[in-house]
Amino acid sequence: MTQHVVITGANRGIGLSFCQFYLALGYQVTAVVRQPSDELTALNVTVIDNIDVSQADDVTHLAQALTGQKIDILINNAGIFHNESLTNMDFAAIELQLAINALAPIRVTHALLANLTSGSKVAMITSRMGSIADNSSGAYIGYRMSKAALNAASVSMAHELKGQGIAVAILHPGFVQTQMVGFAGDISPTQAAERLAQRIEQLTLVNSGTFWHSNGDVLPW
């Protein structure tokens, strides 16, 4: 039976590369976006658009569109990135990052619980910038807060879903050359998606809730 992967934030960057990767493996791919890119629409994937994952009504529409469809892998990839510090503060940007980076993956996973069955996997695309132990420079207050919150919630979900046979991965992609970071970075979105997919492949109920770098290293909280 064809495996089904659902990917949020799939119109560019790592999300688009995830679509290309899983499509090449023969998966049924569902891409969830606000607005599809030309690169995405050129692929043989199902696109569910006009979905802002931070909005409850949109996520309800997403769940309705996927009614009755089993999801083998759910990749919560959508995210935003800003930089606030004590000398450059923007509370609205912090709140937006919390809504999209921390709350939205929980909202989506909760809405799609009926689609997940024993053996399904949930991948949370987070960041090592959510690690408190790894913070040696400060700043990026909202982004760090949002990813730390996502990490905490993901561990809780890993515990709660284990009894249903559903595993959760908490994954840092690496420093990836995407629009989000002005195309700085040391690996391409294609490389990041391939490495992240390896971590998802290795995900089991035993290591569910682990915070991984895409290279396989376990990261500190």
- pTM as predicted: 0.96
Q: Which pLDDT value is given to residue 185? A: 64
Residues of the chain with pLDDT under 70: 178-185
Integer CA distances (angstroms), 161 to 53, 117, 201, in order: 21, 10, 18
pLDDT tens figures, 60-69: 999 999 999 9
At 85-137, the pLDDT tens digits run 999 999 999 999 999 999 999 999 999 999 999 999 999 999 999 999 999 99
